[in-house]
Structure 1
Amino acid sequence: MSILPPDALQQISVWHNDDQMDPLVRYEKVCQVLLALSPDVQQKIMAFPPPTVFDGVPEYKAKMDAIRNDSTLSFREKLAKNKEVIASMPKDLLMGVRGQMKHTIKI
């Protein structure tokens, strides 16, 4: 069962399965959908930890955990800061995480 509305879930699924899409473009598109959701759904989303594929890159996972746990940040600010973390990852590392996500996260 998803906390996302069916239309949001369907659109995010399309992007999640698009191997040709740049990871930062994908993240931006997903953020646009998430920002349109109600505040209660956004709050539920931020309660989830980063995907387990980030366990293999602990320095980035720690940064994402710190952002998630920062109660002074709005949902929009948390998304922006997570984007900064993702953008700071070396491309080869980012693509490795992306490859693991394709096999770990089923939308």
Structure 2
Amino acid sequence: MPFHPSIMSILPPDALQQISVWHNDDQMDPLVRYEKVCQVLLALSPEIQQKIMALPPPTVFDGVPECKAKMDAIRNDATLSFREKLAKNKEVIASMPKDLLMGVRGQMKHTIKM
């Protein structure tokens, strides 16, 4: 799952460590990675979840404006729970063409050092 660099200061160390392992696993399918990360995020306190949802999508999505716009709309939808927002973001990621998804993944590897 693509993360905003600020998330590293929000996540507890154990959650960051778990996510770091998956982030660095190039063999893991991006949607499987996202699902694993979501499991960790859903176990966090509501306060931390709120801080996470306040962050904008990572800048690597600037090159995919339609996905970024959808993620912004999801983030700003106050009617959705944290779980629902994660699920809707997963739908956005799953709808991306494979080449764009891999391009975003490649950019993430260079912008976030875990």
Q: What is the SS of the residue equivalent to 1:20? A: coil
Cα deviation per residue 1:36-84 (whole Å; 9 max; x = unaligned)? 0000000000011000000000000000000000000000000000000
Cα deviation per residue 1:66-103 (whole Å; 9 max; x = unaligned)? 00000000000000000000000011110011000000
Q: What is the SS of the residue equivalent to 2:85? A: helix
2 CA distance for matches of 1:55 and 1:4?
A: 24
Residue 55 (str. 1) matches residue 62 (str. 2):
yes
2 CA distance for matches of 1:106 and 1:62?
A: 25
Per the normalisation by structure 1, the TM-score is: 0.98
Corresponding residue for residue 46 of structure 2: 39
RMSD: 0.8
1 CA distance for matches of 2:36 and 2:12?
A: 16
Q: Please list every run of 5 or more consecutive structure 1 residues that lacks an aligned counterpart in the other structure.
A: none
How far the C-alpha of 1:105 sits from its partner, in A, is: 1.6
What is the number of equivalent residue pairs in this alignment? Answer: 107
2 CA distance for matches of 1:13 and 1:5?
A: 12
Deviating above 2 A after TM superposition, structure 1's stretches of 4 or more consecutive aligned residues are: none
